[in-house]
């Protein structure tokens, strides 16, 4: 637009801008619509184990949204505004708490206000402290910060059974007509978890050692249940990078206790386990903390129980159990 | 009501976004014309130190970010006043130095949950009432001071020495502008994030300057550009599930490109 007055040209530009962005806004707010929800009860769960348990307790009657997508650690996840809207439209929202899903702890109070039945799983169990092995008093809902507690309660099959029970009850309260169905679903799955517990306790009874080195301190509830001694490379929160000093220390312990296998996690890097294994001549094995399954694992038909079984197999190998 | 406004935090995000998109380019204009564009980025990085301290001491991270960036702004202006170092070098030192401090503090806070990404790239679902009150107060402060000291700000930004000769207290005014910038940057980080706030402060202003308008009209134009960027960006990010900060900056870049094509032909 040569020769035009600067102000006029600027005004024209702004007008064009306003028209274009106005059209864009109108188009997307009318064109992008959600799928019409079906008649089933909807439940949102913050991450894989809870979504899986809810699917088992709810069966056909419940549509379960897993908010943290496959292959993502729920601690690193941030829900999009549309995720939040989806959660708000569901009848029940379950999350872990104790710092595992900080985003869920943040939005939970507003969800409760808008009538969503919200369960914070860790507030229903006696938690281990994130620092020492001493169990802490259950502080329930006052504890919003979650810095001090170990959140990995789903890795103990018995605690998992307790969670399934809680979910079944919450579903029954949200949908009283089907309460009996939810109760029978959750007790059936609870029985499967009890069988898993039996496998763990007999499988880990007679072992050459009870010491195991893991990438991050996720397995303390499991270890407490079956009398194992966990030596973690990093603390309870997996985002931390271990200091070279800590790696050296763990290497020394591995040599002293002549540990044969170092455990790594599928969603995190296996480099640290490999570094220690190279130093000590040990092998590496996978121990899945089940914070999420990748798309491949899901496609291969893996679920909570099958992954826990392969965890058990690897633990038996590493601990030389008979 | 459109779907996007059903959620309370989206309404909060819109209010915060509108406030920010008006004051950020106003402050930005004063920085850009004196070739101080990097200042916004530097102050944003210093804000991260404040966030880290806030997380470590379990206080409100946004408030400690405001304190940290204001202190840094004062220090930077002092150092610049000594004329011993290039202004650009001072900014570079503060930018990378503060990042180092922040990373060390965050590593000290291990075991605590630092949702760092939400500060680095913005997270509109985390805007709380305190943030909104602070933003509203800042909004009033920025508009009032620009209205009151418009002429002085203008003179200082274009020719510091000339302004000084004309009886304007250049150093005090400089400091005032930079402190306003510091507070604005820290309060805007929830929407666009620490790493992107510099873009929102600079791109709309550069867009406006291509039209060779008067100083006053440049400000008005850049405010309109940033309003359009923020509103369109929030809509796009909501309906297509995109990161809000990045989407806003991309829209403002698109507007910049369009303006560049339009004004190029001369």
Q: What fold characterizes domain B3-198? A: ABC transporter involved in vitamin B12 uptake, BtuC (1.10.3470)
Query: Quick check: B211 and A6 CB within 8 A?
Result: yes
- Domains of chain A with bracketed CATH: 41-200 (3.40.50.1980), 205-318 (3.40.50.1980)
Q: Is 60 exceeded by the pLDDT of residue A212?
A: yes
CB A283 within 8 A of CB A260: yes
> With bands split at pLDDT 50, 70 and 90, how would you rate the model's confidence at A243?
confident
Instruction: With beta carbons under 8 A apart, name residues in chain B contacting A110.
Output: 8-9
CA distance A242 to B110: 10
Average pLDDT for A50-62: 94
Instruction: With beta carbons under 8 A apart, name residues in chain A contacting B241.
Output: 80, 82
Task: Name the minimum distance, in Å, from the CA of A239 to any CA of chain B.
Answer: 9
Higher pLDDT among residues A247 and A181, named by residue: A181
Indicate the average pLDDT of chain A.
86
Please report the number of interchain residue pairs, chain A to chain B, with beta-carbon separation below 8 angstroms: 107
- B90 token code pair: 């001072």
**pTM of the entire structure?**
0.74
Indicate the SS3 state at residue A231. Answer: strand
Number of helical (H) and strand (E) elements in chain A, helices listed first: 11, 8
- A225 token code pair: 């249940």
The residues with which A43 forms a beta bridge, in sequence order, are: A64, A92
CA distance B8 to A110: 9
Instruction: With beta carbons under 8 A apart, name residues in chain B contacting A24.
Output: 232, 235-236
- Of B110, B125, B213, nearest to A79 by CB-CB distance is B125
Tens digit of each residue's pLDDT (9 = 90 or more) over B74-104:
999 899 888 888 888 999 999 999 999 998 8
Q: Is 70 exceeded by the pLDDT of residue B114?
A: no
Q: Is 50 exceeded by the pLDDT of residue A279?
A: yes
Q: Is 90 exceeded by the pLDDT of residue B61?
A: no
Task: Name the minimum distance, in Å, from the CA of A101 to any CA of chain B.
Answer: 10
How far lies B173's CA from each of B153, B154, B180, in Å? Answer: 7, 10, 11
Tens digit of each residue's pLDDT (9 = 90 or more) over A90-112:
999 999 998 888 889 888 988 88
Tens digit of each residue's pLDDT (9 = 90 or more) over A303-315:
999 999 999 999 9
Query: Quick check: A9 and B115 CB within 8 A?
Result: no
Tens digit of each residue's pLDDT (9 = 90 or more) over B210-228:
998 999 999 999 999 999 9
Query: Quick check: A28 and B225 CB within 8 A?
Result: no
**ipTM for the complex?**
0.78
Give the start-end residues of each E strand in chain A: 41-45, 62-66, 92-95, 117-120, 211-216, 229-234, 261-264, 283-286
Q: Is 70 exceeded by the pLDDT of residue B19?
A: yes
Residue of A170, A130, A119, A123 lying closest to A144 (CA atoms): A123
- Identify the pLDDT of residue A247: 86
- B255 and A CB contact within 8 Å: yes
Task: Name the minimum distance, in Å, from the CA of A92 to any CA of chain B.
Answer: 17
CA distance B220 to A173: 56
Instruction: With beta carbons under 8 A apart, name residues in chain A contacting B13.
Output: 81
> With bands split at pLDDT 50, 70 and 90, how would you rate the model's confidence at A33?
low
CA distance A99 to A146: 5
Average pLDDT for B240-264: 91
How far lies A246's CA from each of A232, A241, A243, B105, in Å? Answer: 10, 10, 5, 19
Q: Is 70 exceeded by the pLDDT of residue A3?
A: no
Task: Name the minimum distance, in Å, from the CA of B110 to any CA of chain A.
Answer: 7
Q: Is 60 exceeded by the pLDDT of residue B193?
A: yes
- A237 and B CB contact within 8 Å: yes
- Identify the pLDDT of residue A131: 66
Q: Is 90 exceeded by the pLDDT of residue A292?
A: no
Residue of B249, B229, B231 lying closest to A26 (CA atoms): B231
Dihedral angle computed from the Cα positions of residues A118, B238, B64 and B172, in that order, rounded to the nearest 10 degrees:
-160
- DSSP per-residue codes, B122-156: --GGG--HHHHHHHHHHHHHHHHHHHHHHHHHHHH
Domain borders along chain B are 3-198
> With bands split at pLDDT 50, 70 and 90, how would you rate the model's confidence at A144?
very low
Average pLDDT for A240-246: 76
Which A residues 71-90 touch B at CB under 8 Å?
75-76, 78-82, 84-85, 88
- A106 and B CB contact within 8 Å: yes
Tens digit of each residue's pLDDT (9 = 90 or more) over B117-167:
778 888 777 788 888 999 999 999 999 999 999 988 888 888 777 777 777
> With bands split at pLDDT 50, 70 and 90, how would you rate the model's confidence at A267?
low
Query: Quick check: B238 and A81 CB within 8 A?
Result: yes
Instruction: With beta carbons under 8 A apart, name residues in chain A contacting B113.
Output: 75, 99, 102, 146-147, 237
Indicate the average pLDDT of chain B.
88
Which residue of A17, A24, A101 to mutate against B (max B Cβ within 10 Å)?
A17
The residues with which A45 forms a beta bridge, in sequence order, are: A66, A94
**For a pLDDT cut of 90, what percent of chain A falls above it?**
53
- B261 and A CB contact within 8 Å: no
CA distance B27 to B20: 11
């Amino acid at each position: 637009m040569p020769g035009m007055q600067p102000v006029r040209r600027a005004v024209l530009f702004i007008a064009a801008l306003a028209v274009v962005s106005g059209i864009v806004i109108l188009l997307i707010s009318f064109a992008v619509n959600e799928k019409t929800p079906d008649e089933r009860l909807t439940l949102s769960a913050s991450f894989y184990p809870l979504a899986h348990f809810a699917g088992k307790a709810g069966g056909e009657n419940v549509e379960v949204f897993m908010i943290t997508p496959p292959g993502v650690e729920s601690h690193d996840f941030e829900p999009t505004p549309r995720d939040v809207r989806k959660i708000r439209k569901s009848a029940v929202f379950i999350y872990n708490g104790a710092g595992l899903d900080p985003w869920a702890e943040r939005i939970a109070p507003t969800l409760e206000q808008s009538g969503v039945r919200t369960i914070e799983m860790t507030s229903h169990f006696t938690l281990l402290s994130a620092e020492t092995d001493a169990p802490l008093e259950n502080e329930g809902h006052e504890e919003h910060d979650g810095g001090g507690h170990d959140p990995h309660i789903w890795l103990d099959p018995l605690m998992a059974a307790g969670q399934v029970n809680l979910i079944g009850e919450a579903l029954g309260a949200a949908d009283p007509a089907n309460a009996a169905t939810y109760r029978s679903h959750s007790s059936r799955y609870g029985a499967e978890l009890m069988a898993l517990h039996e496998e763990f306790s007999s499988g880990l009874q007679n072992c050459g050692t009870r010491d195991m080195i893991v990438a991050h301190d996720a397995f303390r509830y499991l270890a407490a249940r079956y009398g194992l001694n966990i030596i973690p490379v990093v603390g309870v929160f997996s985002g931390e990078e271990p200091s070279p000093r800590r790696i050296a220390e763990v290497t020394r312990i591995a040599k002293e206790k002549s540990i044969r296998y170092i455990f790594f996690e599928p969603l995190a890097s296996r480099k640290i386990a490999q570094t220690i294994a190279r130093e000590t001549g040990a092998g590496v094995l996978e121990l899945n903390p089940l914070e999420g399954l990748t798309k491949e694992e899901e496609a291969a038909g893996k679920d909570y129980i099958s992954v826990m079984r392969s965890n058990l197999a690897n633990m038996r190998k590493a601990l030389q159990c008979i | 009501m459109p779907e996007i406004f059903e959620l309370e935090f989206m309404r909060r995000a819109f209010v915060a976004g509108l406030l920010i998109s008006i004051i950020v380019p106003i402050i930005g204009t004063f920085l850009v014309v004196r070739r101080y564009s990097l200042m916004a980025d530097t102050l944003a990085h210093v804000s991260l130190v404040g966030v880290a301290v806030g997380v470590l001491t379990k206080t409100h991270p946004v408030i400690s970010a405001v304190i940290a960036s204001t202190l840094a702004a004062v220090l930077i202006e002092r150092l610049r006043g000594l004329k011993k170092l290039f202004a650009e070098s001072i900014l570079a030192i503060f930018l990378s130095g503060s990042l180092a401090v922040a990373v060390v503090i965050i590593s000290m806070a291990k075991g605590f949950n630092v949702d760092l990404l939400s500060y680095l790239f913005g997270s509109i679902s985390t805007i709380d009432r305190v943030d909104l009150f602070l933003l509203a107060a800042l909004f009033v402060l920025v508009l009032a001071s620009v209205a009151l000291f418009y002429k002085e700000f203008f003179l200082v930004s274009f020719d510091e020495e000339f302004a000084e000769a004309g009886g304007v207290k250049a150093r005090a005014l400089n400091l005032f502008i930079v402190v306003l910038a510091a507070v604005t940057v820290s309060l805007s980080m929830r929407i666009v994030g620490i790493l992107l706030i510099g873009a929102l402060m600079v791109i709309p202003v550069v867009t406006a300057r291509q039209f060779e308008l008067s100083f006053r009209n440049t400000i008005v134009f850049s405010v309109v550009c940033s309003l359009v960027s923020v509103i369109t960006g929030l809509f796009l990010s909501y309906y297509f599930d995109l990161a809000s900060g990045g989407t806003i900056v991309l829209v403002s870049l698109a507007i910049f490109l369009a303006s560049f094509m339009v004004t190029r032909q001369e």
